[in-house]
Amino acid sequence: MCGIWAIRTLLSYSSLSPESVGSGFMQAYLLDHCLFRNIASAMLIPLALRAKLLSWYSFSPGPRVQFERVLGHQPGKRDGSAMKPKPSSLTSTTLLLWKTLDARGLDANDFFIQSGLDPALLQDPNARYPGHAIKRLWQRVKAALQTPCIGLEVASHFHPTTLHALGFAWMASATLEEAFERLIRYSRVITDREEYRFGETDDDFRFEIHPRNKEDSYPYEGHDAAFAVLVTMCRSIYGNDFNPLRIEFCRPEPPQPCVGEFHKLFRAPLTFSAPLYVMHFDKEMMRKPLPTANADVARANDEVVTDYLAQLDDSDIVMQVRKHLTEQLPSGKATQESIARALNISSRSLQRRLHEAGTHYSEILNDTRRELAIKHIRNSRLSMGEIAYLLGFAEVSNFSRAFKRWTSKPPGEYRTDASRRHGFLPGQKGEM
């Protein structure tokens, strides 16, 4: 029945466009998440509809354009050594720029094609574009438009689906602090071309963008877009009265009237020509309970993100081990041997591959348990016994000792502190 609904949804569009089909995928995700994942992976689209999709992107006479694509899966070698994947970004993040160009009445497809990017991939929620090709796209847009504020315009097109399931997990986070922690944890879903950092100082919280290769970084407009989208994301869950404390940009100060648009959007003191891209936040604002919080929704979408990352690059042995540990821990029988069996390799091969990755099984087990424990403690509906079970501890006392070793606090005290900082929303239990 749900399959018939999805096909009817896709066939119901009489005048197809990238935005309309994108919204069809969004509806499939929201109304039937399981089916959406099947459609996204198998692309169950009738042949006639595929032909119509492909007809949008006719090429004008001229040299053939070689599209560059990263569909999110770059296998390693059989001997366990991995081919280093090229930096890439989720295509849906680039869809924001497509919509911005289209809203200006420009041929967005042509900009993408001439940059070596296949516009058809914008309809695959799991697809990725190579980072260097996205850089070419921004450079082409910058040169053609001569509009220093173009990066700010993309924020108006943001939707939670822009960030895959991470967007919905963000929306369901208990506080902005938790939302940013989730963003950092799963940032590779968005891009592995840059490193995001988030932390608390004596005075505030700060979010930083660190290009992994400064010589090959995006133009300023690309980072303007990132900060514009980030502020939009914060306001979507906190409210329109959210404002950063201050923001630092690496770019030179843009000319008028563009700089006025910066102040209008960010509503915070701005510093230009700074050494880093940094956004500062008020502590109280970051820890205020959010009305959109939903622990179940957040947890469910965390699992979708984890699955996506595990499939993104099968040479990422650490991510695969963590995924199988999360599945096996509740049984109390998670061992290096059981994880190796799940990966269809020998225990010795698993040990060797983890050594090549600079880690070992017991370290991953400890880190996975610690991260899951902190996440579950913040979910006030789980008892200590339930958390101990989910983490594979035979006794609650063993879990309590481990948690105190990880955080320097007993789990009950940590939960009490978390409840004071984050608060419990209506319908959640605050008892121990």
- Per-residue pLDDT, averaged over 83-111, amounts to 89
Contact in structure between 254 and 213 (CB atoms under 8 Å): no
Residue where a domain stops, chosen among 240, 268, 296:
296
Contact in structure between 24 and 124 (CB atoms under 8 Å): no
Phi, psi of 251 (to 5 degrees): -70, 155
| pLDDT attached to residue 224 | 97
Residue 148 lies in a domain: yes
| pLDDT attached to residue 379 | 67
Residue 369 has pLDDT above 80, yes or no: yes
Beta-bridge mates of residue 196: 209
Contact in structure between 324 and 204 (CB atoms under 8 Å): no
- Which stretch, 49-58, 76-85, 310-319, has highest mean pLDDT? 310-319
Residue 32 banded pLDDT, cuts 50, 70, 90: very low
Residues 6+ apart with CB under 8 A from 392: 328, 329, 330, 331, 332, 333, 334, 369
Whether residue 340 sits in one domain with residue 243: no
Residue 62 lies in a domain: no
Beta-bridge mates of residue 90: 128
Contact in structure between 330 and 338 (CB atoms under 8 Å): no
| pLDDT attached to residue 318 | 84
Residue 69 has pLDDT above 70, yes or no: no
Whether residue 324 sits in one domain with residue 263: no
Name the residue with higher pLDDT: 212 or 108. 108
pTM over 0.75: no
Whether residue 187 sits in one domain with residue 139: yes
Whether residue 325 sits in one domain with residue 277: no
Contact in structure between 127 and 72 (CB atoms under 8 Å): yes
Whether residue 142 sits in one domain with residue 34: no
Residue 24 has pLDDT above 50, yes or no: no
Residue 295 has pLDDT above 90, yes or no: yes
- Per-residue pLDDT, averaged over 280-291, amounts to 96
Whether residue 326 sits in one domain with residue 207: no
| pLDDT attached to residue 315 | 53
Residue 259 has pLDDT above 70, yes or no: yes
pLDDT tens digits, one per residue of 321-336: 988 898 888 888 899 9
- Per-residue pLDDT, averaged over 293-302, amounts to 95
Whether residue 135 sits in one domain with residue 41: no
Domain CATH for 381? 1.10.10.60
Residue 57 has pLDDT above 80, yes or no: no
pLDDT tens digits, one per residue of 337-354: 999 999 888 999 899 989
Q: What is the 3-state secondary structure (H, E, C) of the chain?
A: CHHHHHHHHHHCCCCCCHHHHHHHHHHHHHHCHHHHHHHHHHCCCCHHHHHHHHHCCCCCCCCCCCCCCECCCCCCCCCCCCCCCCCEEEHHHHHHHHHHHHHCCCCHHHHHHHCCCCHHHHHCCCCEEEHHHHHHHHHHHHHHHCCCCHHHHHHHHCCHHHHCHHHHHHHCCCCHHHHHHHHHHCHHHHECCEEEEEEECCCCEEEEEEECCHHHCCCHHHHHHHHHHHHHHHHHHHCCCCCCCEEECCCCCCCCCHHHHHHHHHCCCEECCCCCEEEEECHHHHCCCCCCCCHHHHHHHHHHHHHHHHHHCCCCHHHHHHHHHHHHHHHCCCCHHHHHHHCCCCHHHHHHHHHHCCCCHHHHHHHHHHHHHHHHHHCCCCCHHHHHHHCCCCCHHHHHHHHHHHHCCCHHHHHHHHHHHHCCCCCCCCCC
Domain CATH for 258? 3.90.1520
Least confident span in 144-148, 175-179, 215-219, 220-224? 215-219
Residues 6+ apart with CB under 8 A from 104: 145
Calculate what percentage of the chain has a pLDDT beyond 70. Answer: 75
Residue 181, token pair as written in the block: 């922690």
Residue 45 has pLDDT above 70, yes or no: no
For the chain, what is the domain count? Answer: 3
Residue 386 lies in a domain: yes
Residue 44 lies in a domain: yes
Residue 116, token pair as written in the block: 């070596």
Residue 267, token pair as written in the block: 């509503």
| pLDDT attached to residue 225 | 96
- End-to-end alpha carbon distance in the chain: 43
- Which stretch, 59-63, 374-378, 380-384, 394-398, has highest mean pLDDT? 394-398
CB atoms within 10 A of CB 296: 10
Residue 309 lies in a domain: no
Whether residue 35 sits in one domain with residue 133: no
CB atoms within 10 A of CB 243: 16
Q: Residue holding tokens 């992994």?
A: 212
- Which stretch, 131-140, 309-318, 412-421, has highest mean pLDDT? 131-140
Name the residue with higher pLDDT: 231 or 13. 231
Residue 11 has pLDDT above 80, yes or no: no
Residue 71 banded pLDDT, cuts 50, 70, 90: very low
Whether residue 75 sits in one domain with residue 46: no
- Cα 86 to Cα 89, 196, 210, distances in angstroms: 10, 18, 17
pLDDT tens digits, one per residue of 164-183: 999 999 999 999 999 999 99
Helices 396-407, 411-422: axis angle to 10 degrees equals: 60
Residue 108 has pLDDT above 80, yes or no: yes
Beta-bridge mates of residue 198: 207
Contact in structure between 249 and 263 (CB atoms under 8 Å): no
Least confident span in 37-41, 109-113, 150-154? 37-41
Whether residue 288 sits in one domain with residue 236: yes
Least confident span in 73-77, 207-211, 298-302? 73-77
Whether residue 181 sits in one domain with residue 264: yes
Residue 250 lies in a domain: yes
Whether residue 81 sits in one domain with residue 21: no
Least confident span in 133-147, 206-220, 288-302? 206-220
- Per-residue pLDDT, averaged over 388-407, amounts to 92
pLDDT tens digits, one per residue of 189-198: 999 888 999 9
Residue 375 lies in a domain: yes
Residue 218 banded pLDDT, cuts 50, 70, 90: confident
Contact in structure between 125 and 161 (CB atoms under 8 Å): yes
CA atoms within 13 A on the CB side of 165: 21
Residue 216 lies in a domain: yes
Give the C-alpha separation, 167 to 158, whole Å: 10
Expressed as residue numbers, the domain containing 389 is: 316-422
